[in-house]
């Protein structure tokens, strides 16, 4: 009986535990279900609130748009059904005429306008400027002679002063002595007291010494000149060969001649660029090498071939400046001439001399004459020099005429040498 009572107690305890567990489970389920239901209700309320807010916002926006947009009455044609519409109504609307607008193709590169081509000044104006510049220069040559010879009685000292004046003007020793002897024996000079007559007598002697019967024209300017006429510019460093070549091109352009420039100065980097600048102003093409330090003879050869093909009137070849004591550089000049003549004969070799160097330039000139055979001389800076007598000495020493003179820094300050303009300019 005791055992049965014990089992009865244990069974009662198990039943109570089972009931307790069941109650806990039921409560947990109820809590879960209630939470899910409450969560759904909350989400539903939020969704309804959002939809309501959105609907109010849409109504407000629609009202605002209706207030801003004017009401346009619907056209009568639009009220017809597609079946009721006529073929004309169903046809596509005619295109409205469109005004033609010129379209401009846009590119990424903006082309700069080309500078206008200049018209260089002609010979007449250049010669007039030569006279004016020489008369205004500080050249004591002619004026000093006139002042000495204007004395009533000329002593030996006066004649020595005459000779010294000639030497200081770079006339040269031989030419000075010759001129003094001519003046001493000229009755118009020794016995004349009238300044006007004395001036005319001195002018005549100077003209005879400078030379009025010398042909100073360039081959390209002569009637019936062959085409192309080739000119090679030579000289020492710093005499202004490249600038003179550019000015000479302008002189030919002023005479309505077609010109081409050859940039055979490959030693100086900016020489070809400088030559192109001169050419561009008067629409003159330039043949150059794209390779720095190229063979100058090959550039001259190419320029001659190009000038021949294009049938231009004049080809001007610029060369690098070189000292007369550099034998290899002087030989290079000879090569340039020989190579050029494989295409075209060379008509002119112009030696560019700085007039301010005076007699110092004579030794240079003689070497150039021997190396390449010059046909004429270009004297630069003549207007600012007190050494006008170099015109006489260079002609006497080299046996070639002065053909061109530079009388300023302007682009057209290169003039054909005219003996009368020169003498009148230095006499004042």
Cβ atoms of 308 and 320 within 8 Å: the answer is no
258's tokens: 């077609």
Distance CA 393, CA 209 (A): 10
- pLDDT tens-digit map of 262-271: 999 998 878 9
Helix/strand number for the chain, H first, E second = 16, 8
Q: What is the full DSSP assignment across 132-159?
A: HHHHHS---HHHHHHHHHTSSS--HHHH
Determine the pLDDT at residue 243.
94
User: 123-210 adopts what CATH topology?
Assistant: 1.20.120
Instruction: Please report the beta strands in 11-143, taking only residues with DSSP state E, as ranges in sequence order.
Output: none
* Angle (nearest 5°) at CA 381 between 115 and 283: 20
SS (H, E, C) 246-286: HHHHHHHHHCCCCEEEEEECCCCCCHHHHHHHHHHHCCCCE
| pTM across the whole model | 0.70
Q: Out of 34-38, 68-72, 170-174, pick the least confident.
A: 68-72
Exposure on the CB side of residue 326, measured as CA atoms within 13 A: 12
- Give the pLDDT confidence of 251-261 residue by residue, as tens digits: 999 999 999 99
Give the residue among 317, 377, 328 at the shortest CA–CA distance from 350.
Answer: 377
Write out the two tokens for 189.
Answer: 């000079």
pLDDT at 352: 94
Angle between helix 141-149 and helix 195-210 axes, rounded to 10 deg: 130
Cα–Cα distances in Å, from 72 out to 66, 68, 69, 168, 325? 11, 12, 9, 105, 100
DSSP assigned state of 118: P
Q: What is the mean pLDDT of residues 107-130?
A: 68
As a whole number of Å, the CA-based R_g of the chain is 52
Closest CA relative to residue 376, chosen from 358, 394, 354, 356? 394
Higher per-residue pLDDT: 406 or 127: 406
CA–CA dist 277, 279 (Å, integer): 5
Structure confidence at residue 50 (pLDDT): 59
74-101 per-position pLDDT tens digit: 444 444 444 444 444 444 454 544 444 4
CA 371 to CA 374: how far, in whole Å?
9
The answer on pLDDT for 288 being more than 90 is: yes
* Fold for the domain defined by 219-418: Rossmann fold (3.40.50)
pLDDT, greater one: 206 or 47 = 206
Cβ density class 173-189: b for 16+ within 10 Å, e for less: eebbebbbeebeebeeb
Cα–Cα distance measured from residue 334 to residue 322, given in angstroms and rounded to the nearest whole number: 13
What pLDDT digit, counting tens, does each position of 344-367 carry?
A: 999 999 999 988 877 677 777 888
Residue spans of the domains in the chain: they are 123-210, 219-418
């Amino acid at each position: 009986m005791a055992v049965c009572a014990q089992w009865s107690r244990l069974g009662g305890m198990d039943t109570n535990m089972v009931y307790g567990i069941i109650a806990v489970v039921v409560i947990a389920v109820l809590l879960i279900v209630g939470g899910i239901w409450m969560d759904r209700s909350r989400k539903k309320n939020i969704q309804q609130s959002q939809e309501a807010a959105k609907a109010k916002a849409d109504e407000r926006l629609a009202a605002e748009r209706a207030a801003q947009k004017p009401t346009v009455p619907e056209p009568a044609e639009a009220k017809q059904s597609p079946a009721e519409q006529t073929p004309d109504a169903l046809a596509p609307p005619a295109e409205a005429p469109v005004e033609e607008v010129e379209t401009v193709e846009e590119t990424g590169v903006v082309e700069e306008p080309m500078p206008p081509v200049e018209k260089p000044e002609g010979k007449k104006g250049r010669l007039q400027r030569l006279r004016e510049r020489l008369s205004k220069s500080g050249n004591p040559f002619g004026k000093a002679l006139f002042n000495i010879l204007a004395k009533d009685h000329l002593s030996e000292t006066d004649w020595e002063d005459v000779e010294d004046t000639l030497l200081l003007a770079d006339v040269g020793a031989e030419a000075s002595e010759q001129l003094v002897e001519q003046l001493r024996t000229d009755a118009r000079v020794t016995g004349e007291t009238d300044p006007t007559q004395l001036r005319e007598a001195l002018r005549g002697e100077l003209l005879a010494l400078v030379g009025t019967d010398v042909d100073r024209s360039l081959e390209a300017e002569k009637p019936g000149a062959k085409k192309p006429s080739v000119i090679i510019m030579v000289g020492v460093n710093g005499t202004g060969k490249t600038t003179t070549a550019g000015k000479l091109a302008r002189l030919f352009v002023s005479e309505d001649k077609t010109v081409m420039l050859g940039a055979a100065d490959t030693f100086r980097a900016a020489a070809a660029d400088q030559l192109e600048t001169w050419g561009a102003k008067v629409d003159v093409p330039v043949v150059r090498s794209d390779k720095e330090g190229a063979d100058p003879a090959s550039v001259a050869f190419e320029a001659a071939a190009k000038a021949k093909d294009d049938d231009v009137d004049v080809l001007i070849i610029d060369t690098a400046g070189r000292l007369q004591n550099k034998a290899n550089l002087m030989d290079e000049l000879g090569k340039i001439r020989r190579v050029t003549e494989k295409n075209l004969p060379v008509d002119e070799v112009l030696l560019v001399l700085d007039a301010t160097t005076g007699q110092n330039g004579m030794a240079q000139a003689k070497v150039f004459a021997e190396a390449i055979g010059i046909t004429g001389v270009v004297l630069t800076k003549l207007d600012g020099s007190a050494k006008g007598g170099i015109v006489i000495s260079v002609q006497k020493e080299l046996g070639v005429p002065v053909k061109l003179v530079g009388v300023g820094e302007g682009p057209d300050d290169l003039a054909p040498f005219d003996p009368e303009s020169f003498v009148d300019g230095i006499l004042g």
